[in-house]
Chain A
Amino acid sequence: MANAIASMLNRDNVMIWEGADSWEEAVRVAVTPLVDHGDVEDCYIQGIIDNAAQYGPYFVICPDLALLHARPEQGAIKTALGVCVMREPVFFKPEGPGVRVLVTLSATDSNSHIEVMRQLATMFGDPAKIEAIATAATADEVYHLFVDDAQA
């Protein structure tokens, strides 16, 4: 079976960043590569920020990890992934948890990305894996942590 993460994650959409002054800026930084790559429209960024302002940061799914996403109709063009590792943790809520790994998901409907979500859920269920991603030395290393170990 094909590796869903590898097919959805472009190397250009993986990066390491020092830190952001606010969570909104962190969202912009993390999602911009997908905008540049034509995976999402620019308004997808605002969609994520608006959703978080309305409902809270529901996409912080465990300590150190945010799965940034908005609705398909909020500007998703293709089903794609992006990864941004922040050296300085981002606080989506003042009380935390701090988040160093920001994974952006663009999905064009509610079900086409089920296989990749299954792989990500397995990855993110392992705190050691998240720590390895957060402390990777280079963006190449981050990329390979996602695509090489994923269970096909």
Chain B
Amino acid sequence: MAINKIMCACGSGLGSSLMVQMNIDDVLTELGVSGVQVEHSTISDVQPGAADLFVIGRDLEAFVNGIPDEQKVVLVNIVDKDELRGKLKEKFDAQ
């Protein structure tokens, strides 16, 4: 499935999720990926169909059971760009 839209989410939709969004923007540039819309929101907005790929912290994993594994990236360390890069690359390579 083509990844055109990525949604990052946290409990309140403006702290952790925004940090992840900025890191995703940087990583996509590094990976040479363009034309992907990235946004941040609250965990309750994570619903099938809202985006092609969802990125969340591990603490919120239990709240995204409705999303298939191939459409989500779960981060152990939210500010670790290396972890993000590795996991995002996997998804983009698989699309």
Chain A interface (Cβ within 8 Å of chain B)?
51-52, 54-63, 67, 69-72, 74, 105, 107, 109-110, 113-114, 117-118, 120-121, 124-125
B12 at the interface (CB under 8 A from A): yes
Chain B interface (Cβ within 8 Å of chain A)?
10-16, 18-19, 22-23, 40, 42-43, 57, 59-60, 62-63, 77-81
In the complex, the answer to whether A62 meets B12 with C-beta atoms within 8 Å is: no
A61 surroundings in chain B (CB, below 8 A)? 15-16, 19, 57, 77-79
In the complex, the answer to whether B60 meets A58 with C-beta atoms within 8 Å is: yes
In the complex, the answer to whether B16 meets A67 with C-beta atoms within 8 Å is: yes
From A52, A58, A107, B16 is in contact (CB under 8 Å) with A58
A117 surroundings in chain B (CB, below 8 A)? 15, 18-19, 22
B15 surroundings in chain A (CB, below 8 A)? 59, 61, 67, 69, 105, 107, 117
Known: A114-B18, A121-B23. A55 touches B59 (CB 8 A): yes
- B41–chain A nearest beta-carbon distance, Å: 8
- A75–chain B nearest beta-carbon distance, Å: 12
Q: Which residue of A lies closest to B43 (CB)?
A: A55
A56 surroundings in chain B (CB, below 8 A)? 11, 59-60, 62
In the complex, the answer to whether B12 meets A121 with C-beta atoms within 8 Å is: no
- B60–chain A nearest beta-carbon distance, Å: 6
A54 surroundings in chain B (CB, below 8 A)? 11
Query: In the bound complex, how far is the Cα of B14 from the Cα of A51, in angstroms?
Result: 13
Known: A58-B59, A60-B59, A125-B79. A110 touches B43 (CB 8 A): no
- B67–chain A nearest beta-carbon distance, Å: 16
Q: Which residue of B lies closest to A108 (CB)?
A: B14
Q: Which residue of B lies closest to A74 (CB)?
A: B12
A55 surroundings in chain B (CB, below 8 A)? 11, 43, 59-60, 63
From A59, A120, A124, B11 is in contact (CB under 8 Å) with A59
Q: List 25 A-B contacts (CB under 8 A).
A: A55-B11, A55-B59, A58-B11, A58-B12, A58-B60, A61-B16, A61-B79, A62-B77, A67-B15, A67-B16, A67-B19, A69-B15, A71-B12, A71-B13, A71-B14, A72-B14, A109-B14, A110-B18, A113-B14, A114-B18, A118-B22, A121-B19, A124-B19, A125-B79, A125-B80
Q: Which residue of A lies closest to B59 (CB)?
A: A56
Besides A51-B12, A121-B19, 13 other A-B contacts (C-beta < 8 A): A55-B11, A56-B60, A58-B16, A58-B43, A58-B60, A61-B57, A62-B77, A62-B79, A62-B80, A67-B19, A71-B14, A113-B18, A125-B80
